[in-house]
Chains A and B, each alone.
Chain A
Amino acid sequence: MHHLEFEKPVLELEGKIAELQHMSQSDDGVDMDDEIKRLRSKAEKTLRSTYQNLSAQEIVQVSRHPERPHFGDYIKGMIEAFTPLAGDRTFGEDEALIGGLGRFRGRPCVIMGQEKGSDTESRIKHNFGMARPEGYRKAQRLMDLADRFKLPVLTLVDTAGAYPGVGAEERGQSEAIAKSIEKCLRLNTPIISTIIGEGGSGGAIAIATANKVYMLENSIYSVISPEGCASILWRSADYAKDAAEALKLTAKDLKKLGIIDEIISEPLGGAQRDHTAAIKSVGDQIEKGLKEMDELDGMVIRARRRQKFLEIGNDL
């Protein structure tokens, strides 16, 4: 497991436990059960208190943890009959943003999101979850499909941002994102977005202009990365920690600001420690959100989404 710097005390305890376990298994047969039990509870307590008191910068690290469940894990864990659909019908297929049809707890839906990949090969294949215009145009296409067949749209957001490259600019990255936002707003079916890791700026909002926006406890959602912000406003990326704090990019802060609707709790020690539990929590929250909109007419769903965004910031 990839460990983060601030997890060191827990790591040390876990090391000791392993050592004792090894000793008690050896021939001299010293019974270490009580000590192991004690250390286990201590490790758990330390993990709990560490994760309850994470700084914004530490949450940034957790949100980017390479072993957090990614888009593909959620598909495997909560979508049946997933049928990927490819291509923007204009230029190409963008594997940074995956989408398709699938059944979520029995309901047919359109599901899409950025996939970061989990090893070097898959990271390159998915361009580290940074979509080009083709990805956003595919998203628009899939939203049209959802609208036509009255299917809810579920999006899982996990991206450092839209890809900054010459080709992406030439093919209209700005326009692709703008049109995606417009398409989200025009949907006559429910759209629910969950930030599962990084919600990076325009690349995130392009598929997160939703009726319900949820965030996993240790995910982030921001207009700019703390490093980018620090290098502009503090003139040095060394101030990323200060920028992370100042940007108010954690789920807790964003709930307070009225930018997101709910925070989804993560398993003890973060989603990376228990994929199954994290994915189930996300699924439960999405199901709740869908049920809240079950009886609503398409026009009402669309009007409420618009109203919700119009009201953001009005009470601050």
Chain B
Amino acid sequence: MNWITNIVRPKIRALVKSKDVPDNMWQKCPECDAMLFHRDLDKNMNVCYHCDYHLKLDVDSRMKTLFDKGKYTTAELPKTANDPLKFKDRKKYSDRLKEHRAKTGRDDAIVVAHGPMGGQTVVVAAFDFKFQGGSMGSAVGDGILTAARIAVQQNAPLLVIPASGGARMQEGALSLMQMPRTTIAVEQVKEAGLPYVVLLTDPTTGGVSASFAMLGDIQMAEPGAQIGFAGRRVIEETIREQLPDGFQTAEYLQDHGMVDMVVHRKDLRDTLIRIFGMLMKTEIKKTAKSEAPAKDDIVVEEKK
């Protein structure tokens, strides 16, 4: 803990408040309550530099932290039916889609990218939690299938990074059908003899956790991520008991043998390069670090 950061910074913030400092310049760590400055957070991949809490990392920043020099190509995804059920709750699903598209600048909750990672081409499919909680409907299913197709075409490993509350209810049973459809995507990658790795991030629950997200050759998770099938509230209502400490966290899953490793964000890229290198049987290069992202793109700082 840092006294200056904890006490002085918020005070400075209070002094200069609102006029020229936009609110999002500072962010409170949900774990240790420290006020975090956005530029410092960016440099630290959105990991709290006081307590190592992993805040959510947006998809673009995530991609930059993974690929060589932060450079990658984004794949075009197929257009899927808009609101096939004409679903309306308190709001029309078609309106929700419009809002989320405007807010995120994306068509749906998934981004597929490919590019070199330690010199080895890798395909990455990452969920955007800001788009309807990363929920999985037909567009997400098709995104995973596209990622698998590109991986097979380019003879590249596939990394999927879910961040999703589960199925997209507004697509009814069509969203349920994405569980087998994304599983087929995984099958195609595995049949081609290519590695399929999953990085479970916060949160990975429901239909997403019960399909492609649990089928990795190697299962990784981000520290503190909530991962599980049923929601905590549903379980509490069913068993009418307090849930154990740390229930459904990445560390809890590791304790129960459900994931191979919990990886700190700063170690993720090197870990992936090392694993893909072995699974793809590439010759050992001098050092993968030489191709690490350029300084401007990403800086991994030592923990303070």
Q: A: which residues have CB within 8 A of B?
A: 162-166, 168-175, 177-179, 181-182, 184-186, 201-202, 204-206, 209, 221-224, 228-229, 232-235, 239, 242-243, 246-249, 254, 257, 259, 306, 309-310, 312-313, 316
Contacts and interface: CB of A to CB of B under 8 A. Distances in A.
B138 interface: yes
Nearest to B81: A316
A172 B209 CA distance: 10
A232 B169 contact: yes
A161 to B, nearest CB: 8
B173 A259 contact: yes
A259 B89 contact: no
A246 B229 contact: no
B299 interface: no
Find the residue from B84, B141, B170, B177 having the highest chain A CB count within 10 A.
Answer: B177
A205 B175 contact: no
Given A172-B258, A173-B229, A165 B173 contact: no
Contacts of A165: 230, 235, 238-239
Nearest to B188: A306
Given A173-B210, A174-B209, A179-B215, A309 B173 contact: no
Given A182-B187, A185-B183, A222 B173 contact: yes
B181 interface: yes
Given A173-B230, A201-B176, A257-B173, 5 more contacts: A173-B228, A177-B179, A177-B211, A201-B167, A202-B179
A316 to B, nearest CB: 4
B176 A312 contact: no
Contacts of A172: 214, 256-258
Contact of B174 (A185, A259, A310): A259
Given A164-B234, A172-B258, A306-B184, A202 B215 contact: no
A185 B235 CA distance: 30
Nearest to B215: A178
A174 B173 contact: no
A248 B241 CA distance: 34
A247 B258 contact: no
B174 A257 contact: yes
B1 to A, nearest CB: 33
A182 B207 contact: no
A316 B84 contact: yes
A140 to B, nearest CB: 13
A244 B89 CA distance: 11
Contacts of A221: 173, 176
A210 to B, nearest CB: 10
Contact of A166 (B177, B214, B247): B247
Contact of B84 (A162, A170, A313): A313
A204 B167 CA distance: 14
Q: Which 4 A-B pairs have the closest CB atoms?
A: A164-B230, A233-B89, A174-B209, A177-B210
B169 A174 contact: no
Nearest to B238: A164
A222 B141 CA distance: 17
Contacts of A170: 256
Chain B interface size, under 10 / 10 to 19 / 20 to 34 / 35 or more: 35 or more
Chain A residues touching B, majority SS: helix
A183 to B, nearest CB: 10
A194 to B, nearest CB: 16
Given A173-B210, A202-B206, A205-B180, A254 B138 contact: no
Given A247-B172, A259-B174, A185 B187 contact: yes
A24 B129 CA distance: 71
Nearest to A184: B180
Interface in B223-273: 227-231, 234-235, 238-239, 241, 243-244, 247-248, 256-258
A182 B169 CA distance: 23
A181 B258 contact: no
A220 to B, nearest CB: 10
Contacts of A177: 179, 210-211, 229
26 contacts: A162-B210, A162-B229, A169-B235, A170-B256, A172-B257, A173-B228, A177-B179, A178-B179, A181-B211, A182-B215, A184-B180, A201-B176, A202-B179, A209-B180, A209-B183, A222-B173, A223-B172, A242-B89, A246-B172, A249-B173, A254-B173, A259-B174, A306-B184, A312-B181, A313-B81, A313-B174
B146 interface: no
Find the residue from A173, A181, A248 having the highest chain B CB count within 10 A.
Answer: A181
A204 B180 CA distance: 12
B244 A174 contact: no
B167 A223 contact: yes
A123 to B, nearest CB: 15
B164 to A, nearest CB: 12
Contacts of A173: 210, 228-230
Contacts of B213: 174, 178
Given A164-B238, A170-B256, A178-B212, A247 B169 contact: yes
Contacts of B81: 313, 316
B260 to A, nearest CB: 13
Contacts of B47: none
Contact of B176 (A169, A222, A228, A242): A222
A312 B174 contact: yes
Contacts of B181: 309-310, 312
Contact of A181 (B87, B179, B229): B179
Contacts of B171: 223
